[in-house]
Structures are given as structure tokens and as C-alpha cells.
């Protein structure tokens, strides 16, 4: 189940236009993998493909699509399977983020988080994993969850709905796919310097407010680069690591949740108090 050499391995990656997905695509190309890439942003996806090809990498196929649309995913993956056979590596990286308190979140926010962050990866797995199993060549599945898929971060209820679900699916598949020689890794990053920092929707919070800006700046200072995450993912695949974390704070907090729950509980209370203060100072607290 450990993949030591990625040369000539067929690798499918979502979210390849930016952030972790782009970094992973570039790094896997350097490792000699043969790539199949997708993202919803056609222009930036084309830039990623051009960059990889310009540096000697191999991209067999790419297509701009919405992973929450099953028919679009099925159409692209079906064409890949027909032309190239089963892939050996699947990397579900695409995702989006919306934060907010339950009083502020609307139905569309909940649906978007589940449709993209949970059903999107499910669509990819549904279309590609059966062929991997039948191919009997082993392989590896990578699902990018989040720190919000490990611990109860404030205002992350809708986001965690998808990310906790994806971690749960990954844990089941870790054992279900073992007999087929397919490893499974779930990536749970903390802060990462991706476009999501500036595009994540924070419902009920004015991002331009000084307190909100201060919080975002603190988040950015703790953030690791997408390239660092990509290297951790590749190392995790090589070692068949199940949970891949990217920062010590999240790793420690998750350890506390399992080993010293009272400490975890206190930290969660403090984090919620901090977020409540930011909401009040930004004039957005509904109470």
C-alpha cells in the first residue's frame, strides 16, 4: 500500500487551478506522475497545465468542471477510464469555505458546503474507485478534509458538516480498501496560504472591520504554504499515513481531544469567547 515511486503513476487531482491542488499537481509532475486535472476555474487551470507541461511534466487530460455536478464528473472520469484505464492515485483537493453562526447561516450556505466539500469528493470516488479495485494494481486515495474535520472550530458548523463527513468516509475506506492494496490518507490542514483566506465567506461579519482584519492577519501569520502541504501529502502517501496534519497547534489540539478532553474543552470555550468578542465589536452579534 505504500507508494515509494510515483513515476508513470496515473494521478487524478481536483482543485488543480490554485492553492494546495495546484501545488500538489506541480509536485506530482516533478515526481514523474501522469496527471489528469480538473478545477472549476478554467483560466487558472489552463495556467497550471501550461506550467507543468512547460517544465517537462505530463498532463494527459484536463477539464474545467464543477465537482458538485455528478454528470460533469462522470463525463470526464468516464473519458479518462475509456482512454487510459484505471488511475492509481486519486487526490480530492477541491473545496470551498463558508463560516457563520447558526443564526446567520442560510439554507444555501449549508447546501453549498455539503454539495462541494462532501458530495464533490463522493462523486469522484464513486466514479474512479471501483475501477481501481477491479484493476488490482493498488494505489492511494487522498481526501483533503480540514482542521475543522478534526475539532470543533467556532462558526464552522456548515463547513464541518462536509469536512467531518469526508474524514468519516476516509476512515471507513481506510479499512475497506486495504484488502485491495489501496491506501487512504485524509489531510487535515490548519491555516494555509491559499486564495480561501481572502475568498472564504464569513456570514454576518464585515471582513473590513479592524477586529475582523486583525483576526484574518493572525490566521495568515500562522499559515503554511500550499507547497509545504503538497510535500506533506506526498510524504504521507509514501508512508501510508492516515491523518496528515500541517501544523503543530492542530495536531496538539486533536491529541488533547482524544487524551485530555477537559483541556480541549477549555480551549474550545476560549476560542468561542474570542469569536463572540469579534462579532460584538464588529457590530454583527445578533443578540
Give the residue numbers marked as catalytic: 159
Q: Which three cell numbers stand for residue 116?
A: 462541494
Neighbours of 55 (CB within 10 A): 10
Distance separating alpha carbons of residues 186 and 130, to the nearest angstrom: 19
Output the DSSP codes for 126-192: HHHHHHHHHHTS-EEEEEE--GGGTS--TT-HHHHHHHHHHHHHHHHHHHHTGGGTEEEEEEE--SB
Cβ-Cβ contacts under 8 Å for 31 (sequence gap 6 or more): 6, 7, 234
- Give the three-class secondary structure for 11: strand
Distance separating alpha carbons of residues 22 and 18, to the nearest angstrom: 5
Amino acid at each position: 500500500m505504500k507508494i515509494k515511486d510515483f513515476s508513470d503513476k496515473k494521478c487524478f487531482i481536483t482543485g488543480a487551478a490554485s492553492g494546495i491542488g495546484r501545488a500538489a499537481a506541480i509536485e506530482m509532475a516533478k515526481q514523474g506522475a501522469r496527471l489528469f486535472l480538473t478545477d472549476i476555474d478554467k483560466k487558472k487551470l489552463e495556467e497550471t497545465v501550461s506550467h507543468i507541461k512547460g517544465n517537462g511534466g505530463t498532463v494527459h487530460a484536463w477539464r474545467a468542471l464543477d465537482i458538485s455536478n455528478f454528470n460533469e464528473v462522470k463525463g470526464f472520469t468516464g473519458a479518462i477510464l475509456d482512454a487510459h484505464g484505471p488511475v492509481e492515485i486519486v487526490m480530492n483537493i477541491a473545496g470551498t469555505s463558508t463560516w457563520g453562526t447558526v443564526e446567520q447561516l442560510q439554507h444555501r450556505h449549508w447546501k453549498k458546503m455539503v454539495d462541494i466539500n462532501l458530495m464533490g469528493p463522493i462523486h469522484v470516488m464513486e466514479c474512479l474507485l471501483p475501477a481501481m479495485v477491479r484493476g488490482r494494481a493498488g494505489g492511494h486515495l487522498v481526501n483533503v478534509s480540514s482542521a475543522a474535520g478534526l475539532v470543533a472550530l467556532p462558526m464552522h458548523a456548515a463547513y464541518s458538516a462536509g469536512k467531518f463527513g469526508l474524514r468519516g468516509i476516509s476512515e471507513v475506506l481506510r479499512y475497506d480498501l486495504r484488502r485491495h492494496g489501496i491506501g487512504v490518507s485524509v489531510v487535515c490542514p490548519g491555516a494555509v496560504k491559499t486564495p480561501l483566506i481572502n475568498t472564504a465567506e464569513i456570514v454576518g461579519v464585515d471582513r473590513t472591520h479592524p477586529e475582523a482584519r486583525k483576526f484574518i492577519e493572525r490566521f495568515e501569520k500562522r499559515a503554511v504554504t500550499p507547497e509545504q502541504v503538497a510535500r506533506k501529502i506526498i510524504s504521507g502517501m509514501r508512508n501510508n499515513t492516515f491523518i496528515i496534519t500541517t501544523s503543530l497547534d492542530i495536531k496538539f489540539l486533536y491529541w488533547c481531544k482524544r487524551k485530555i478532553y477537559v483541556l480541549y474543552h477549555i480551549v474550545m470555550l476560549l476560542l468561542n469567547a474570542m469569536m463572540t468578542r469579534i462579532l460584538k465589536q464588529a457590530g454583527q452579534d445578533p443578540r
